[in-house]
């Protein structure tokens, strides 16, 4: 049987692993679509504009515009939500 101390140590270990995992890239997508599920900035792809979206494991998306400007979309998972997503990912 695990003591309360052991459970806290294990939870902290899991949290640290999840925080490291959160920095990993989930997907890359170069496109000119304004219909992405996460897109709150359709103006970025109006006309013939293209963007590069990098989705991270923490739920954020780093968008690079043709001008070089960087925009962050989404909200980073933290705490229990991050740990839950990390364990669901099976890593």
Task: Compute the average pLDDT of residues 17-39.
Answer: 96
Structure tokens belonging to residue 86: 């990390």
Distance (Å, whole) CA 88 – CA 66: 35
74-89 residue pLDDT tens: 999 999 999 999 999 9
Average pLDDT, the chain: 94
- CA 47, 55, 25 angle in degrees (round to 5)? 140
pLDDT of residue 90: 85
What would the DSSP string read from start to end of 78-89? -HHHHHHHHHHH
- Count Cα atoms within 13 angstroms, Cβ side, for 10: 6
CA nearest 16: which of 88, 86, 71? 86
Sign of CA dihedral 36, 42, 53, 26: negative
34-70 residue pLDDT tens: 999 999 999 999 999 999 999 999 999 999 999 999 9
pLDDT of residue 86: 96
pLDDT of residue 5: 83
pLDDT of residue 3: 79
């Amino acid at each position: 049987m695990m003591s309360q101390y052991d459970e806290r140590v294990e939870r902290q270990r899991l949290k640290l692993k999840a925080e490291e995992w959160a920095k990993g890239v989930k997907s890359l997508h170069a496109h000119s679509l304004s219909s992405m599920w996460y897109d709150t900035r359709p103006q970025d792809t109006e006309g013939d504009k293209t963007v590069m979206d990098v989705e991270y494991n923490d739920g954020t998306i780093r968008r690079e515009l043709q001008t070089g400007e960087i925009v962050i979309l989404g909200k980073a998972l933290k705490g229990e939500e991050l740990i839950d997503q990390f364990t669901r990912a099976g890593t």
